[in-house]
């Protein structure tokens, strides 16, 4: 069973790494590269205030339109970050059990200012499994098209930067 999990998980991790390398490469010679833009400073997502720091934005170049939320917080709390326990042995980043709806967060953030784009990818480019002595929050799907913010006690894992890329 463990071998089967490895066969499933390792290719997925490899694909994610390849996707990140393609998206984060700043090679000017690549065609169709677009500078990302910061999200607006304050957005309402599922009745919570999501804050993005526009002053701390370092532009990157991506193969499609991309928006970045740097130093992200939800009602003043950091977004929790974690893995599904089956893909890592480090129990420091397992409190969310890999449940988070970052794609839904991106869809809603993009929808607040532009409705013609369709989400292609939601990805975290700066997170940590370090301990933070603050409450954290994450968005969880609790039913068909039903999303609930769940608050967590201080613990291990939080997101600093979320990026959302649209189909062209």
Task: Give the pLDDT score at 11.
Answer: 44
- Please provide residue 37's backbone torsions phi and psi, each rounded to the nearest 5 degrees: -125, 150
What's the CA gap between 84 and 30, in Å, rounded?
34
DSSP string of 3-30, one letter each residue? HHHHHHHHHHHHHHHHHHHHHH---TTS
Beta strand 136-143 pairing with 73-74:
unpaired
> What share of the chain has pLDDT > 70, as a percent?
79
Confidence at 1, pLDDT banded by 50, 70, 90: very low
Domain layout of the chain by residue ranges? 2-166
Task: Give the pLDDT score at 31.
Answer: 59
Q: In whole angstroms, what is the distance from residue 16 CA to residue 24 CA?
A: 12
Q: What value does the mean pLDDT of the chain take?
A: 81
Q: Give the per-residue pLDDT at 49.
A: 96
| pLDDT at residue 91, rounded to an integer | 72
DSSP 63-131: SS-EEEE-S-EETTBEEE----GGG-S-GGG-TTTT---HHHHHHHHHHTT-SS--EEEEEEEEEEEEE
* pLDDT of 123: 92
Give the other-Cβ count within 10 Å of 34's Cβ: 15
Predicted pLDDT of residue 32: 76
Check pLDDT > 60 for residue 2.
no
CA atoms within 13 A on the CB side of 42: 5
The model's pTM is: 0.76
Quick check: 4 pLDDT over 50?
no
Residue 110 pLDDT more than 60?
yes
Going by pLDDT thresholds of 50, 70 and 90, the confidence category of residue 168 is: low
- Compare 164 and 56 and report the one with higher pLDDT: 164
Dihedral pair phi/psi, residue 111, rounded to 5°? -65, -25
pLDDT tier at 106 (50, 70, 90 boundaries)? very high
Does residue 3 surpass a pLDDT of 80? Answer: no
Find how far residue 143's CA is from the centre of its chain: 21
């Amino acid at each position: 069973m463990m071998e089967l999990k490895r066969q499933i998980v390792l290719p997925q991790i490899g694909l994610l790494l390849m996707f990140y390398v393609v998206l984060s490469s700043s090679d000017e010679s690549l065609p169709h590269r677009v500078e990302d833009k910061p999200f607006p400073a304050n957005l309402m997502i599922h009745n919570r205030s999501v804050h993005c720091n526009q002053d701390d934005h370092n532009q990157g170049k991506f193969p499609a339109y991309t928006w970045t939320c740097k130093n992200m917080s939800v009602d003043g709390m950091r977004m929790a970050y974690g893995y599904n326990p089956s893909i890592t042995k480090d129990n420091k980043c397992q409190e969310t059990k890999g449940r988070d709806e970052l794609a839904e967060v991106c869809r809603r953030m993009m929808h607040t200012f532009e409705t013609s784009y369709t989400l292609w990818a939601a990805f975290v480019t700066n997170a940590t499994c370090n301990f933070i002595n603050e409450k954290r929050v994450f968005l969880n799907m609790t039913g068909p098209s039903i999303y609930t913010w769940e608050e967590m006690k201080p613990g291990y894992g939080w997101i600093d930067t979320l990026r959302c890329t649209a189909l062209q």
